[in-house]
Amino acid sequence: MTRETLDTIRNFSIVAHIDHGKSTLADRLIQLTGTVAERDMQEQMLDSMDIERERGITIKAQTVRLEYQAKDGKTYILNLMDTPGHVDFAYEVSRSLKACEGSLLVVDASQGVEAQTLANVYQALDADHEIVPVLNKVDLPAAEPERVKEQIEDVIGLDASDAVQISAKTGLNVDQVLEAIVQRLPPPKGDREAPLKAMLVDSWYDPYLGVIVLVRIMDGVLRKGMTIKMMGTDAEYEVDRVGVFRPKMQPLEALGPGEVGFITAAIKEVADTRVGDTITESKRPTSEMLPGFKPAQPVVFCGLFPVDAADFEDLRAAMGRLRLNDASFSYEMESSAALGFGFRCGFLGLLHLEIIQERLEREFNLDLISTAPSVVYKLNLRDGETIELHNPADMPDVMKIESIEEPWIRATILTPDEHLGAVLKLCQDRRGVQIDLNYVGKRAMVVYDLPLNEVVFDFYDRLKSISRGYASFDYQITDYREGDLVRMSILVNAEPVDALSMLVHRSRAEARGRVMCEKLKDLIPQHLFQIPIQAAIGGKIIARETIRALRKDVTAKCYGGDVSRKRKLLDKQKEGKKKMRQFGRVEIPQEAFIAALKMDS
Amino acid sequence: MYVHWPFCASKCPYCDFNSHVRREPPDEARFLAAFAAEIAHQGALAPGRTVGSVFFGGGTPSLMQPRTVGAILDAIGKAWSVAPDVEVTLEANPTSVDATRFAGYRAAGVERVSLGVQALNDPDLRALGRLHTAREALDAVAVAQAHFPRSSFDLIYARPAQTPAAWAAELRGAIDRAAEHLSLYQLTIEPDTWFEKLHRAGKLVVPTADEARALWDVTQEVCDAAGLTAYEISNHARPGAQSRHNLVYWRYGEYAGVGPGAHARLVTNEGRIALATERHPETWLALVERDGNATVSREVLSAESQGDEFLLMGLRLVEGVDPRTYEALSGRSLDPRRISALVGDGLIEPRPGGRLAVTQAGFPVLDAVVADLAA
């Protein structure tokens, strides 16, 4: 098999921390190569969802084909692959990176390297990328390009002497970025005559065209009309359309080796396409799949319930619609005594959870309550079986459990020195095990192993607050470890409240239980009788608060025969009671659940 | 029969009743004609009844000329027959000026006055925005007792910084002067009052729920010891001296109501209807002069509403309610589980004859008890 070098193609991605200017640089590159007419330009061309634009994050991989006439006189095809930048999408990122030969490492010249930059650059290095450092925002007064170059060399071990110093905002030196792509990044290799071998990089749902599949051709040629086969699922499709993004879809007859583009093929759901899968021709299949393919694995679970029970069917429909476009999130029906009917949903991580929740609320106009996020526990039962636990409410009898394992992560945190003490304390408090601690210029870099279960509870918010927003954080899931985990239940007036039960480490149970009881004490209104609120492990009470009985609730005077006014007040009270969830004799307002589940500590 | 006189000499800062202050005295003759028209109108809606009580409320009805009061009573006598022992009550301010008219009211047919004394110490009276002193009020009480066979007065307690000891002493002093009836209301901060503004701004601090409860408890102790027991949550009387008029409301009887912002509950062939009249005095007057009545809201009460109103009113009474009446009105029965839970908490108790009543422990949390039973 002869793999020719495809000299005039460059496939590259951009590695950057949020806010370091990835999208702006992409916009400039699109502009400078004349890919989009000036009048059609808008900001963050590649981020098509509102959420992506607003938050400056990329959720779906996107690509744009740029044609660039270089100083050597040749015209190059540059495929910019915009990858999701967040660890939740680490697998998607790794596949996108596999579709490229090089990366631009964009670092804000005033901020320096962030934790997320590190994680992504290591992934790029894992994908054998050639990397061109780019210092952005050098026009800002606070820019310290020399210091940041040093940092890149010290921390990442990359030679930054040739770093391109730009301002994506003003356009300064962006042309040098294009030259660097052509001269410093390697061209792809591929065999045009070999059987088709293409990587499914990502896919999404388009209401008009059905599922659009983003592909990178490794070997062979993908033609319109060809019958293809997804090797991971064995499904076959006839290709309707082939083309490239500029960044609008532009149809072509075929895509050759080294090229990046899209196909459509009457695929109904995104769930039918697996990121990282190998696409080949049915009648002349390639002999081997691309390495590294794995199905999406939810990591964090939580229950999503409509605030208004009448919205349940709407929520179901919305979930179905979202799932059309995002096969990595899973859902199944769940019913809770506290929250009614809803869904137990699995996500790739916390950001993913937040995004889905936000999209449901925003695009489908739903008010949702989410229960405390929980991780996937492995329960080793005494009968030898191992089961996965997604919902603390489903936990079997403790007598049947031999041991419980929980997922651990390796977290990298970069923080200004003055907050290091607080960051270390936070990590220690969350059962962290310190792996590394060193300095990157004026900033400390700490690496900790932490149980994911401790991180899904407001870890990130706490980190931001103790470091005044300066600490950055990234993580990857490493392994499962056995832990002394217990199910803590919350009892209100001796009735267990399912939505509030959680798995916690025994050493943390009392503190967490106390905080939960204190919160509920303030959230549940006084009743005509005293209400004990307890946190319990099995039959053992570990924390207790008491809501005193109502002492006075009477509007004394009644004017003339105006009972209408009192009746209206009563009607309001009755209406309010309907929105409450009944636990025994205690009525708990829905807001109490929302608040109790939100403010984790 | 309720008659609302909507004017006051000044507006008290805690009051959210339909009362208005006018620089010029209102034209009583025009108002009288309008009252007579509304009385005739409601008389036609509920013909053939016998009026057992008339209550002049306000506002300050003791600003009316006695002859206006007499003429209104005459109009009532034309619309319905009047019981021989009809109870006619008039609310009055305990000032020397108002007291000069007491003889005239008695002559016009008023047999009972209810005086808005509110407090028996001058600093608190000033704080409540009252125009009279404690001395003046007690004098007015004495004048009233000399002129009328029956009388009552109101006090407001749970005032800012009021201690149970100070209140007990003030209340004992009041009971010494009260012949047969006392209304004791806790100060409540009502929306759109001056007190509400102050309260919101943090300039008026009212007792906490616990403090208000302690004041309520001491109120019951002092009154019980003096033989002036409560027959309603805020009303205390010697045996036989209860306000028959108010008992009609609380027993969810039938009542007409005329004047600005008055309410009525009449049983017609459509069912029980709730009427409310225009609140603004001059608008009310213009409407009556144009249409013969100023009814602005007329609602045929649903079974559920009737049941709710019955509970809201009836459970204020120490005698409680008959659950069978509730069933007849609302078409459903009270939830036995809720009843037994509330009985278990000591907040309500069954009474002989199948009645159900709120206990001494239940009264201070009456609103929550009613909400629980009505849910």
Mind telling me how many Å the CA of B289 is from chain A's nearest CA? 24
The whole-number pLDDT of residue B54 equals 98
What per-residue confidence (pLDDT) applies to B10? Answer: 93
The per-residue b/e assignment along B288-299, b for 16 or more CB within 10 angstroms, e otherwise, is beeeebbbeeee
**Three-state SS at A320:** helix
Residue A415: which residues within 8 A CB-CB, separation 6 or more? A423, A443, A444, A446, A467, A470, A471, A472
Question: Of the candidates B261, B262, B365, which has its C-beta nearest A552's C-beta?
Answer: B365
Please list, in sequence order, all residues whose beta carbon lies within 8 angstroms of the beta carbon of residue B85, skipping any fewer than 6 positions away.
none
pLDDT band per the 50, 70, 90 thresholds, residue B322: very high
| Whether A574 contacts chain B with CB within 8 A | yes
Q: CB pairs below 8 Å between A and B: how many?
A: 103
ipTM value:
0.90
Strand partners, A301: A346, A374
Under 8 Å CB-to-CB from B270, ≥6 apart: which residues?
A: B300
Residue B235 CA, distance from chain mean position: 10
Task: Using the structure block, give the residue that is written with the tokens 């009388």.
Answer: B151
Q: What is the mean pLDDT of each run of 10 residues along chain A (601 residues)?
A: 76 84 86 77 60 56 87 93 74 86 93 81 87 94 91 87 92 93 94 95 86 94 95 92 90 94 90 90 93 79 88 91 80 84 88 84 86 88 92 87 94 89 94 91 87 84 82 84 93 90 90 91 93 94 96 75 88 84 85 69 39
Burial zone of A438 (CB within 10 Å; 0-12 exposed, 13-18 middle, 19+ buried): exposed
Q: Which of A589, A527, A524, A569 is closest to B191 using CA atoms?
A: A569
A-facing residues of B in 305-344 (CB < 8 A) are: 305, 308-309, 312-313, 316, 341-342
Phi-psi domain of A302 (left: phi exceeds 0; alpha: psi -120 through 50; beta: other)? beta
Name the β-bridge partners of A409: A450, A477
Specify whether the CB–CB gap between A391 and A334 falls below 8 A: yes
* pLDDT confidence tier of residue B264, bands split at 50, 70 and 90: very high
- Contact list, B299 vs chain A (CB under 8 Å): 564
pTM across the whole model: 0.70
- Residue A65 falls in which region: left (phi positive, over 0), alpha (psi -120 to 50) or beta: beta
Please tell me if residue A557 touches chain B, with a CB cutoff of 8 Å.
yes
Residues of B in contact with A527 (CB under 8 A): 368
Distance between first and last Cα of chain A:
59
Q: Is the CB of A550 inside 8 Å of chain B's CB atoms? A: yes
Q: CB of A65 within 8 A of CB of A26?
A: no
Any idea which of A570-579, B104-113, B303-312 has the lowest mean pLDDT?
A570-579
Residue contact A570–B308, C-beta within 8 A: yes
pLDDT at A601: 39
Q: Which of A528, A551, A562 sits opposite B347 (nearest CB)?
A: A528
CA angle B128, B132, B134 (to 5 degrees): 90
Residue A33 is predicted with a pLDDT of: 87
**Cβ–Cβ < 8 Å for B87, B112:** yes
**Considering only CB atoms, which chain A residues are within 8 Å of B374?**
570, 574
Q: Is A237 exposed, middle or buried (0-12, 13-18, 19+ CB in 10 A)?
A: buried
Residue A573 contacts B, CB cutoff 8 Å: yes
- Note the pLDDT of residue B89: 98
- Distance in angstroms (rounded) separating the CA atoms of residues A458 and A355: 16
Task: Say which of B262, B299, B371 has its CB closest to residue A573.
Answer: B371
CB of B12 less than 8 A from some CB of A = no
In this structure, what is the dihedral angle of CA atoms B164, B169, B172, B177, given to the nearest 10 degrees? -130
What strands lie across the sheet with B295-300, from one edge to the other? B263-268, B271-277, B295-300
* For residue B251, pLDDT beyond 90: yes
Say what the pLDDT of residue A356 is: 87
Q: How far is CA B130 from the centre of its chain?
A: 19
| Min distance B121 CA to chain A CA atoms (Å) | 22
**In this prediction, what percent of chain B has a pLDDT beyond 90?**
97
Query: Which residues of chain B lie closer than 8 angstroms to A548, CB-CB?
Result: none
Q: Does B233 touch chain A (CB under 8 A)?
A: yes
